Each structure stands twice: as structure tokens, then as C-alpha cells.
Amino acid sequence: MSAVLDALPAVLPAFLIQQRWFGGKARRIARCEIEDSADLPGPHGGVAVVIASVSYSDALPERYALLVSRRSDTHGLPALGRLGSPEGDWILEAATDPEAARALLHGFIEDRPIPTYRGGVLRYADVGAVARQALATGAPLVKAVGSEQSNTSLRVGPTLVFKLFRRLEPGENPELDLGRFLTSRTSFRAMSGLEGSLTYHAPSGESATLGVLQTWIDNLGDGWSYVLSALGESRRTARRRSTLGPDMTQLGIITSDFHSALESDRSLEAFRPEPVKSSDVDAWSAQLRDRVARVCALIGPRLDAWPDESRRLGKSLLEKSRIAHAIASAGGGGSASFSKIRIHGDYHLGQTLKTASGFTIIDFEGEPATPITVRQQKHCALKDVAGMLRSFDYAIETASEQKPDTPDRPWAPPDLRRSFLAGYFQSAGEHGMVSLPASPSAIGQWLTFFELEKAFYELEYEINNRPTWVPIPLRGILRALDAREA
């Protein structure tokens, strides 16, 4: 593989900018270097795990993981280029190649580390009984699942799924440490159980999570698709009733069970609930004030170019920005009589799967653009709740755009919010959760705070990336501000 590794730096930039999992597409790549690599036993001359360092002209370097092979033909795999001459072998990104993937997964049953060229090591750990049985019975069927986002997911036989993390950051990915905690130290099972982990240990001693092996969940699709479909059916038939109310109540219960599990074990410092301090409240408030100011500064110069509806909503927000600043400064009204815990951190309908019996929660990585050290910090459980409520807003708005109202068939969307909160807080009361404020009024104030935080985050994203979507978060923000003003 040495010839392949020598050729990679020159062909990587053009390849990377075409990949959905590459996060630096908006930047100019200055150079790519092969930081480390490890050969795997495999077909057609072998497979290599490659750790590539990507340097930018205007940002700090990033590291990405690839599975690279050399073949005489592409077999439909992503090609980085040819080796040597126009007639030379293809250099392929082989993460979705079943044979190459099996070579990577073989380490879960061999139980030995794989050395890298630069003196590092790939270490397999956390191997569960389901994984041992599934991988030891021969060559399991391996195929890519879902659309690639920041990771590549492979279904392994009927019982497992392997997630390869593309961007490598120092430390243990929350998908791994949350999954390990929930699988081994709690009874919460509405999730993919951890069945194995793969970690890259650099020669410097720094480590990064390369992948996780998890149980496969048979499902009917993600929560976003399920809710959107049900809303569309409700709208087409102008039905006032649907199964979405009970479904969202159940999702609220499962969310409460999830938070209760995360606060249940006080023996591990990383998961032990901690009382919220005034410094926490000050930091949360400062972050929201900064975002409000930043977003309002973005709106002003763009108003004249926006369509009428967006311009009207944007002007209203600027007029009411003092209320947003007041909510941010007040935090939860000065009350912080609860504990902070580890949370999901990026919770919305797309982070759930609809199953025949209910819902499961997936993707514990947190917000991918946020450093791992921040994602591992403890926070208020209501931050997750607010994320799901904002997701309902997006689903209802999206369903509303799919077919206009008619005078004879007005559509009243089901109250997803009320159903979800009813299930969540009823279950939370039964659990006696310490991660919620003590009084209903404090819960209401903190929930408004975190909903505004999420909505301003959404608005900033939409302004910069999808300007036609800005009315969705703008309407959510204005509803919250009008309620507070009233």
C-alpha cells in the first residue's frame, strides 16, 4: 500500500470536497497529509485505514478517517484517482465495500490491537456477546445504510450496525461513552446497545474514537419521516384526530426515561448529577445574549432583500429584541434548583426511530460542529426537551407547505407539543428526576429560555444557509416573545 499512500496527498483535496461527510467544503484546502495509516488483511492487495490531516488557509487543521484500497476496477466505489498512469490501478475509498469493511470488523473477534506505520495503534474494545456471535459465524452480509452525513454507517448481518466516524477529534466521542454507560450501567433499552468500539491511539498518546459497533434496530423509519407522513395524512383528510397524540406522549415518556437513566448512577464522576451553579446560569445567559445580538445584526442588512413575509417577521423580531435580551439575562428567572446531567445535546425527531412498539433514541454524538469537550459537559435536561419541541415546529411548518388550506377543509394540526410534554412530565414525576427545576413556573421559564436558544441557533443557520426557511424559526421566536410580553 506504500505507493497508494504516497499518491494520496495529491488526490485527496479534489476527492474530499465532493464527500457529504467532509466538513470543510466551504474552506480552501491548503494541503493534505497522511498523518498515519494501518494495513488490514483484505482482498486485492489489502486495505488500509488512513488518517489524513487537512490544512486550510483560514482555519485550524482537521483529521479525517478513510478506508482505502487498490483495485484494477472501481466496482462502483468512490474513486480518488489512478495510481501512476491513466491505465494504472484505481485508488478507492472502500468504507462501503463489503470485503474491505469485513477486514476492518475482523478485529472485533481477533481481540488484538493493530499497529500503525507511525507507531500508533488501532484498538478494539467493548465487544459484546451479540457481536462475538454475529462476527464469528462467518462472513456477515455488510451493506451501507442511510445517507452519509458526518459518518458512514454499515449494516452488519441482521443484528449489528457499524458507524465509522469520519472526522476524528481528540477524546472519546459521546456516542461511545453515552452508549457504554447506558448499555452497561442502566436498564434503558430504547436505543442501539453498544457492542464494540474502535479507537485510534496516535503515537503522541492522544486518542480518537474511530467507530462504534451497535445493535441493529428494526424500524419503520426515523421520527421525522414518520411524523411528517402522519401530518400529511392528517392534512389530506382534514382529520381532527390521529395517532400522533398518543405517539408523542409515548415519545415524551421515552425521553424522560432516557434522562432518568442518565442521572441514575452517581458512582461515575462523568455521569454524576451536579447542582447547577450561578456560574452555569451566567454562562448560559451570556451565550444566549451573544447569539441574540449576533443574529439581530445579521437580520438588519438583509431585510430589504427578503420576501415580504420574512421581512415582516424580521422587523418584528428587531422591534422585540429587547424582550429576547431580557429573557436571556434572566435565565430561568433566577431559579436554578436542579442538577445538570449529561444529555443528548442534539435532540430532535430525526434522532429517533419509529418502531413497531414505539420509539428509540439514536445518535448520541451531540452537535457535530461543537468540540467534543463541550458536548461532554453536563447541562439542563430541558435543553433536549426544547430541541424536540422546535423539531415539532419544523414538521408542522413543512406539512403546512405541502398542500394549501381550502375554505371547506381547514387543517388544525395536532398539538404535538402538549402531548409530548404531558408524557415527559408525568414520567419525570414518577422517576423523581433531580435534573428538572422544582416548580412548574421555573420549568416554564427555563423551557422558554432553551426554546429561544434553539430557535436563535436555527435562525442563524437558516440566514447563512437556507434563507427561504427563516420564517420557521422567526415565527417560533416571536410566539415565545409575545407570550412573555403578554
What is the DSSP pairing of strand 274-275 with strand 207-215? unpaired
DSSP 438: S
Nearest CA among 66, 69, 73 for reference residue 42: 69
Instruction: Please answer whether residues 254 and 419 qualify as being in contact, where contact means their C-beta atoms are separated by less than 8 angstroms.
Output: no
SS3 sequence, 146-193? CCCCCEEEEEECCCEEEEEECEECCECCHHHHHHHHHHHHCCCCCECC
pLDDT number for residue 74: 86
Give the separation between CA 223 and CA 253, rounded to whole angstroms: 15
Give per-residue pLDDT as tens, 340-360.
Answer: 999 999 999 999 999 999 999
How distant is the alpha carbon of residue 409 from its chain centre?
37
Give per-residue pLDDT as tens, 141-183.
Answer: 899 887 667 899 999 999 999 999 999 999 999 999 999 999 9
What mean pLDDT do residues 314-338 have?
88
Task: Tell me the CATH number for domain 223-485.
Answer: 3.90.1200.10
CATH code 3.90.1200.10 region(s) in the chain:
223-485
Give the separation between CA 374 and CA 3, rounded to whole angstroms: 39
What does the DSSP assignment read for 267-334? SSGGGS-EEPPHHHHHHHHHHHHHHHHHHHHHHHHHGGGS-HHHHHHHHHHHHTHHHHHHHHHHTTTT
Cα–Cα–Cα angle for 10, 13, 17, rounded to 5 degrees: 160
Q: Which residues contact 259 (CB under 8 A, 6 or more apart)?
A: 341, 343, 381, 384, 428, 433, 435
Give the separation between CA 195 and CA 156, rounded to whole angstroms: 12
pLDDT over 60 (residue 460): yes
Give per-residue pLDDT as tens, 180-218.
Answer: 999 999 999 999 999 999 999 999 999 999 999 999 999
pLDDT number for residue 191: 97
Neighbours of 333 (CB within 10 A): 16
- Specify the long-range contacts of residues 343-347, CB closer than 8 Å, at least 24 apart: 343/259, 343/262, 343/378, 343/379, 343/380, 343/381, 343/383, 343/384, 344/258, 344/384, 344/387, 345/174, 345/370, 345/375, 345/379, 345/383, 345/384, 346/387, 347/255, 347/384, 347/385, 347/387, 347/388, 347/391
Give the separation between CA 51 and CA 37, rounded to whole angstroms: 6
pLDDT over 80 (residue 65): yes
Q: Which set of grid coordinates corresponds to residue 24? A: 470543510
What mean pLDDT do residues 473-482 have?
95
Q: In angstroms, what CA-CA distances link 312 with 29, 279, 306, 471?
A: 40, 37, 9, 10
pLDDT over 60 (residue 240): no
Going by pLDDT thresholds of 50, 70 and 90, the confidence category of residue 379 is very high
Nearest CA among 106, 113, 114 for reference residue 139: 106
Instruction: Please answer whether residues 44 and 94 qualify as being in contact, where contact means their C-beta atoms are separated by less than 8 angstroms.
Output: no
Give the separation between CA 398 and CA 472, rounded to whole angstroms: 9
pLDDT number for residue 150: 82
pTM of the model: 0.92
Give per-residue pLDDT as tens, 106-146.
Answer: 999 887 899 999 999 999 999 999 999 888 877 788 998 87
What mean pLDDT do residues 367-385 have?
93
Q: How many helices (H) and strands (E) does the chain have?
A: 15, 17
Neighbours of 200 (CB within 10 A): 25
Going by pLDDT thresholds of 50, 70 and 90, the confidence category of residue 394 is very high
Give per-residue pLDDT as tens, 400-434.
Answer: 876 555 555 666 788 999 999 999 999 999 999 99
Please report where in the chains the cell 422591534 appears, as a residue.
Answer: 319
Q: In angstroms, what CA-CA distances link 334 with 276, 285, 289, 331, 482?
A: 12, 11, 16, 6, 21
pLDDT number for residue 413: 81
Instruction: Please answer whether residues 56 and 44 qualify as being in contact, where contact means their C-beta atoms are separated by less than 8 angstroms.
Output: no
Which of 21-25, 224-228, 290-294 shows the lowest mean pLDDT across its residues? Answer: 21-25
Instruction: Please answer whether residues 364 and 326 qualify as being in contact, where contact means their C-beta atoms are separated by less than 8 angstroms.
Output: no
pLDDT number for residue 243: 85
Mean pLDDT of the chain: 91
Instruction: Please answer whether residues 310 and 325 qualify as being in contact, where contact means their C-beta atoms are separated by less than 8 angstroms.
Output: no
Instruction: Please answer whether residues 348 and 385 qualify as being in contact, where contact means their C-beta atoms are separated by less than 8 angstroms.
Output: no
